Each structure stands twice: as structure tokens, then as C-alpha cells.
Amino acid sequence: MDPMRGLKHGGFALGLIVLVAGMGWTQSRPTQGMIDVPFEFYISGAKLPAGQYMLDRVAPTYVLLRSKDGTVQQDLYLLQTAVPSKTPPLKVVFALRGGKYYFAEIWSWYGKSQLSSFTPQSGDQTKEVPLKAVEKTVAKPSGSL
């Protein structure tokens, strides 16, 4: 047997194992969360009211934020700043600056991520809001049980 052929097969098998293991690890983590924000806050200059919000992870660096009543929706583009851990703190961090709260970070099952449009400053005070996992509901086709 050609030694290069064996090496190629071994590399392919190892890559496949890593891919399948990674897929299983990420699939076991929630992709939706709920926060209850008790104050008005800003994202990229947009003022959002206090209330309950859903965070829906669309891609590793993209989250859709929606108010529970559906009247407010905001795209969040993130920069991952820390890798996932087995028992991460689940929270959203807001920075208080000039009497206004700004959406700053998400700490979740996928690690710590900073909002890309937010730049931390040394004088920022922070306020943490708990992030709660939400089970994704799948709509059943009409006529099914």
C-alpha cells in the first residue's frame, strides 16, 4: 500500500471525527435565549425600550434580538472574545455611560461575545441581565398531531 494514500485516509478520518464531534457539541446547546431588561438601552444609536427580548442565534457571530411583543427587532453582529466553557455564566452585559445603557456583551453557551458596534471605555460601569435558555418551538404542519 502506498504510504501517502494511508496518510490521506488517516487525515480524512481524523477530520471527519472532529467535524462530527463538533457538530454534536454545538447541537446540544440552546440557540435561543430570553432577557428581561428593566431599563431603556441603546444599540448602534437606536433606542430600545425596557422589556422582554428574545435572542436568536442565526450564525456564530450574528444574533437577532426581538422584543417579546414583536414590535422591536435589531440585528446584532458580534466578535467572539472568549471560547465556550462547560458552565458559562449566562448573561447580557450593558455598559452605563453618561446616564444611558448600551448593549455591550453576551455571555452564553457559545462563549463571550462583544457587540461589534460597541467600544468599551475605561470609565464604563456595567449592569448584567440574566440570559435564560428558551426551547425552540417547531411549527407542525396543519392537519398533523
Same-domain pairing of 72 and 19: no
User: Strand ranges (DSSP E) for the chain?
Assistant: 32-37, 41-43, 46-48, 51-59, 62-67, 73-82, 91-97, 100-108, 111-115, 125-130, 132-133
In a domain, 142, yes or no: no
The three three-digit cell numbers of residue 119, written as one number? 467600544
In a domain, 44, yes or no: yes
In a domain, 139, yes or no: no
Number of domains in the chain: 2
pLDDT in tens, the chain (145 residues): 555 555 455 444 434 343 343 444 445 677 899 999 999 999 999 999 999 999 999 998 999 999 999 999 999 999 999 988 888 899 999 999 999 999 999 999 889 999 999 999 999 999 999 999 987 655 545 544 4
Same-domain pairing of 46 and 25: no
Same-domain pairing of 24 and 43: no
Same-domain pairing of 23 and 67: no
Number of helices (H), then strands (E), in the chain: 1, 11
Same-domain pairing of 8 and 59: no
Provide the residue range defining the domain that includes 116. Answer: 31-133
Measuring CA to CA, which residue among 138, 134, 139 is closest to residue 56? 134
pTM: 0.73
In a domain, 106, yes or no: yes
Same-domain pairing of 10 and 42: no
Q: Which residues pair with 100 in a beta bridge?
A: 97
In a domain, 112, yes or no: yes
Distance, in Å, from the CA atom of 37 to the CA atom of 104, rounded to the nearest integer, reads: 13
Same-domain pairing of 17 and 55: no
In a domain, 45, yes or no: yes
The helix/strand/coil state of 109 is: coil
